[in-house]
Structure 1
Amino acid sequence: MQLPTETFTATALIEVVRISALPATRNAPYPGTAVAHWAGSEAAAALALIDSLSGSEQQRCGFSPGWSIRAYEDSLDLALFEAAFCFTCHEARMQGTAVPPALAKQFFDPGTLPARTLLSLFRKAAL
């Protein structure tokens, strides 16, 4: 999966969100509960893990994401990007100021070690 290049150096904080519904409007944040905040090396490791997700073909489930991350720079104002992950249909949708249109919708293989590790990190964050 490809993340916007500048996010690797600009991200100061990642917020992990357990998604409860789809957004009411286009480009609105995914509603849910923030279950963790990752900073420093933890945020960098999460970005590297997400960036290492291998591609996949689209599956049909209707896109029902369970988790998202929001990446913020030092000011913590607007998110640089939010990425919502559906481990059923293999789809990740990204939105935000740092996301070019070509990266807005991507597919990943949830059966790979990096994807299983990411899902495990999400689940541990929610405990």
Structure 2
Amino acid sequence: MNNQKGVIFPMVMIIASVFIMFTILMIDQFVIDKKFYKEVEETLLSDHLVHLAVNEVTAEWEDEVPKSIQGEIAYPNGDVHYRLTKQDVRYAYIEFSSITKNKRAGRIIILYDKKLGRVIEWIEKLKD
């Protein structure tokens, strides 16, 4: 018993310290990933709301685009506001703004071709 030189205890402390530091690093990485995935989820939800609104609004037009387009559509996960910004003989520019329940905002402008009867350009905008 007297010939032990105190090697085991420092080795156990070093291994335990490395294990604890690794565990703390993994917990920190988990928290960062969780925040990132929540942001991605909210962004995708905002985009999905806009897609739903575009399909719903353009499906109402059969042969002619109305002269005045403005309204709001309420979905379970958020609301979408839309309005006509500019219109000429062939094209109509319609702005869609979405707000999720968690206050994530998204805004796009679509270019709707009246003769083809479909959206031909999708312009994403940052929220001002």
Say whether the fold is shared (TM-score over 0.5): no
Q: Highest CA radius of gyration, 1 or 2?
A: 2
Instruction: Tell me which protein shows more strand as a share of its residues.
Output: 2
Which TM-score applies when normalising by structure 2?
0.31
Structure 1 length-normalised TM: 0.32
Q: Which has the higher helix share?
A: 2
Bigger relative contact order, structure 1 or 2 (CA pairs below 8 A, ≥6 apart) = 1
